[in-house]
């Protein structure tokens, strides 16, 4: 089944403790992206990647890192999480053409205490 898989689904952590949220897609998609969703603010893009080894900042990249060493994986790294990064996170992917539809993962609910 074609899908975008995120792990974990829920994560509770403390301020400053480094964490990684994994994202993997099995559709051989070139493009991958991370969004965060907060009440009243909608979905905002954090980072995106047009292909392997090509990443760029979205609208809210501060406090996050990403890497794209393999086509299928696009992990989101929080080196020193803070409470304002408590949010619902979504990974998405699509084929290379810009008008293609996005496939989203099921989400990761992160709470930073």
Partner 1 sequence: DAKTTQPTSMDCAEGRAANLPCNHSTISGNEYVYWYRQIHSQGPQYIIHGLKNNETNEMASLIITEDRKSSTLILPHATLRDTAVYYCIVSNFGANSKLTFGKGITLSVRP
Q: Which residues bind partner 1 (CB under 8 A)?
A: 4, 31, 33, 42-43, 45, 48, 50, 56, 58-59, 88, 90, 92, 94, 98-107, 109
CA pair distance 49, 29, nearest whole angstrom: 10
Min separation Cβ 103 and partner 1, Å: 7
Min separation Cβ 49 and partner 1, Å: 10
Of the pair 53, 56, the CB lying nearest partner 1 is at 56
Listed in sequence order, the residues at least 6 apart from 82 whose beta carbon sits closer than 8 Å to its beta carbon are: 15, 16, 63, 112
- Is 57 in a helix, a strand, or coil? strand
Min separation Cβ 93 and partner 1, Å: 11
The answer to whether 96 touches 102, Cβ cutoff 8 Å, is no
**Residue 85: exposed, middle, or buried by beta-carbon count in 10 A (0-12, 13-18, 19+)?**
buried
The most distant pair of C-alpha atoms in the chain lies apart, rounded to whole Å, by 40
Of the pair 79, 100, the CB lying nearest partner 1 is at 100
Min separation Cβ 21 and partner 1, Å: 13
Of the pair 15, 26, the CB lying nearest partner 1 is at 26
């Amino acid at each position: 089944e074609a899908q975008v898989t995120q792990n974990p689904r829920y994560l509770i952590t403390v301020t400053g403790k480094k964490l990684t949220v994994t994202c993997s897609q099995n559709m051989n998609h070139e493009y991958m992206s991370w969004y965060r969703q907060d009440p009243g603010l909608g979905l905002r893009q954090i980072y995106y990647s047009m292909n392997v080894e090509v990443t760029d900042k979205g609208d809210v990249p501060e406090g996050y890192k990403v890497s794209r060493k393999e086509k299928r994986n696009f992990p989101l790294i929080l080196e020193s999480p803070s409470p304002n990064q408590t949010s619902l996170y979504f990974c998405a992917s699509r084929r290379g053409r810009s008008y293609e539809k996005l496939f989203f993962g099921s989400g990761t609910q992160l709470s930073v205490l």
